[in-house]
Every structure is written in structure tokens, then in C-alpha cells.
Amino acid sequence: MSSSTTAPIATPQRVSATRSLLLQLTSGAALGLVVLYGVAFAESPIAHNAAHDVRHVTVKPCH
């Protein structure tokens, strides 16, 4: 009689896929922060004002 479980088994493929997904999510978050702070402290007033306008359009708290 074989026992079957419904719990996921941590196969090497699943561990690798999970690490890949976490790497992608972390990379995406890091890129987002770089873009966000890069634009927020941009010397270019056009980029800064565009980001500011997006902030108002999306009803985020501002000044």
C-alpha cells in the first residue's frame, strides 16, 4: 500500500523555481526603487514634475 500525501514535496526543481521567482521579485523591487528614487531626486525638472504629477493623479499623499 502506497501512501499518498497532498503536501508539496520540495524537489530540487521546485526549490530552483522558487529561488528563481524570489530572485525575479527581488530584482523587480530593487529596479522599482532605483527608478522611483532616481526620478524623485532627478536634476531634470521635467522628470521630477512628471513623477510628481503621476503622484497626484494616483491620489497618493503629497504636500
Residue 31 or 53: the one with the smaller Cβ distance to Zn ion is 53
Q: Which three cell numbers stand for residue 1?
A: 500500500
Determine, following the binding rule CB under 5 A, whether residue 60 of this chain makes contact with Zn ion. Answer: no
Determine, following the binding rule CB under 5 A, whether residue 62 of this chain makes contact with Zn ion. Answer: yes
Dihedral pair phi/psi, residue 54, rounded to 5°: -60, -35
- What's the rounded Cα separation, in Å, for the pair 16 and 59? 39
Binders of Zn ion among residues 14 to 53 (CB under 5 A) are: none
| Closest chain position to Zn ion (CB) | 62
Q: Please report where in the chains the cell 524623485 appears, as a residue.
A: 40
Residue ranges that bind Zn ion, judged by CB under 5 A = 62-63
